[in-house]
Amino acid sequence: MSLIRVKYLSFFFILISLFSFLNIIYSYYFNLFLNLNTYYISLILSALIGLIFYKIKPLEKKPSIFEKILTVLLGYILMPLVLSIPFYLSIYNLTFLNAFFEAVSGFTSTGFTIFENIKHIDQGLILWRSSIQWIGGLYFLYSIIFLIDIYDESLKKSLTNFISFNSSEVIKQSIKILLLYSVLTLSVFIILNIFGIRSFNSLNLAMTIISSGGFLPVNNLSSVLVNDLQVIIFSLLMLISFFSIFFTYNLIFLRNKNINFFYEDIHLFLYFIIVVSIFFIFFSYDTNFTYSFLSLVSSISNIGFSLEVNQSNLNFIYILLVIVGGSFFSTSSGLRFLKIYSLTKYSFNQILSYSRPKNVFMNKLVFSKINFDSKDINKYFLTTLVFIISFFCLTILLSLSNINFEYSFKLALLTLMNTVNSSAYGLSDFDFRNLHIMTKYFLIFFMIIGRVELLSLLLVVKKFFFKN
């Protein structure tokens, strides 16, 4: 435990206990007693772990990057273990592995589910699934702050406009992010209610959207979104998990009008406009406009929802968008647009420098005075390389598990990108419940790896296998 700063995790275990308590209140209010006792167990256990972790005094010295990564990874293992208790002890006869798989899938905002029919699950457990996503999304944002030193300096500098990385202000900054995250969730809930989606579904979908998760409170999204207006509103709301959480906050409350603070999100906005324009000019001639728009936005934001049953001609387009991902400080996954853009521009400038050695080519971001240096580019390149290696490894492992290659290819990508298996990618009918035990463990491992940023995996490997 000397290497791991468990005090950092104590807040989230207390948060789990709070949500357990809320689930108990909800179950009593609506007379949902089927799985009530399971929430008592998760309440007591999470509160106990949280208090123990809080009492453990951290080391005096500043934690290293390696120690921070181990702490975050431990959270992605321990918290799903506690969160899986209501699944495991429920009346639905889930094995421990299936329960843990469901919890990890929710906590990493992936959205793969063991349950074949959501209609058969009581509302309390459905709410619990959504709560897991919500807590996991918040944990991801906190982890970005905790691991900020492994990211490029320009992004770190941009975040200093909104939060401080001074250790003396940790509590203040934590409360700030929690309140912002909660306000945005409440805003989505209210908007969905205004447009005619019933409260229970609105609450669950709000927690799903803000966390970039994939769990639905129903079997099919089409049973919730019954008209085109609801589809469009829902699609636009999913962009909250695409842009930076601070950018979204400022759009709503107009707190800061300085465009330099949002250079990444300005790039993302242009990227979104270009993608939508190209898509509807060249690819939407034989598709439903609103349905295609929802699939497009959900892929961009790494949520993965879809209303279309058959869109095999567009599967590849949506998968490419999933890989790109969204903002650095958002709950979406992916390689991140800014990384891909920077790598492309840097490579292009390098090629031009060889053909025109007398010219000077600036590696400058549009709408910003910030230049990305070679250290940032090296990090981007390593992240991409680790992704490619991880992707091929998982694809091979899934293929060896008697899953056909096409499904293995798509499933490996969606796992690493933490995106749900919807009809947008041709995997809506995939059965996770009956997968081989080892296959489930593989998916659990790579869901976590995909969420903690692939560069973190590289640093852990370097620590264990290389002395220098």
Would you state the pLDDT for residue 1? 46
Cα–Cα dist 29/21, whole Å: 12
59: three-class secondary structure by DSSP? coil
Cα–Cα dist 281/29, whole Å: 51
**DSSP 8-class letter at 58:** P
CA 391 remoteness from chain centre: 17
Cα torsion angle, 157, 452, 68, 372, sign: negative
Cα–Cα dist 460/455, whole Å: 9
**In terms of C-beta density within 10 A (0-12 exposed, 13-18 middle, 19 or more buried), how is residue 144 classed?**
buried
Q: Cα–Cα–Cα angle for 203, 242, 395, nearest 5°?
A: 100
Would you state the pLDDT for residue 344? 81
- Helix (DSSP H) and strand (DSSP E) numbers for the chain: 19, 0
Cα–Cα dist 269/259, whole Å: 13
Cα–Cα dist 59/56, whole Å: 9
Cα–Cα dist 134/331, whole Å: 10
Cα–Cα dist 438/138, whole Å: 29
| Share of the chain residues as helix, strand and coil, in percent rounded to the nearest 5 | 70, 0, 30
Residues in the chain: 468
> First CA to last CA across the chain, in angstroms?
24
Would you state the pLDDT for residue 255? 59
314: three-class secondary structure by DSSP? helix
Per residue of the chain (468 residues), what is the pLDDT tens digit?
445 678 889 999 999 999 999 999 999 999 988 889 999 999 999 999 999 998 887 666 777 777 888 888 899 999 999 999 999 999 998 999 999 999 999 999 999 999 988 988 999 999 999 999 999 999 999 888 887 777 666 666 666 666 666 666 666 777 888 988 999 999 999 999 999 999 999 999 999 999 999 899 999 999 999 999 999 999 999 999 998 887 777 776 655 555 556 677 888 888 999 999 888 887 666 567 888 899 999 999 999 999 876 666 788 889 999 999 888 888 998 888 878 887 887 777 777 666 666 555 555 555 555 566 667 777 788 888 888 989 999 999 999 999 999 999 999 999 999 999 988 898 888 999 999 999 999 999 999 998 887 666 666 665 555 544
CA 209 remoteness from chain centre: 10
CA dihedral 10, 420, 188, 280 (to 10 degrees): 150
Structure tokens, 172: 């203040």
Backbone angles phi, psi at 364, to 5 degrees: -110, 140
Would you state the pLDDT for residue 426? 87
Which residue matches tokens 């560069």? 455
**Cβ-based neighbours of 448, under 8 Å, separated by 6 or more:** 73, 76, 77, 104, 108
CA distances from 421 to 216, 370, 384 (A): 12, 37, 22
Would you state the pLDDT for residue 234? 96
Structure tokens, 33: 């007693």
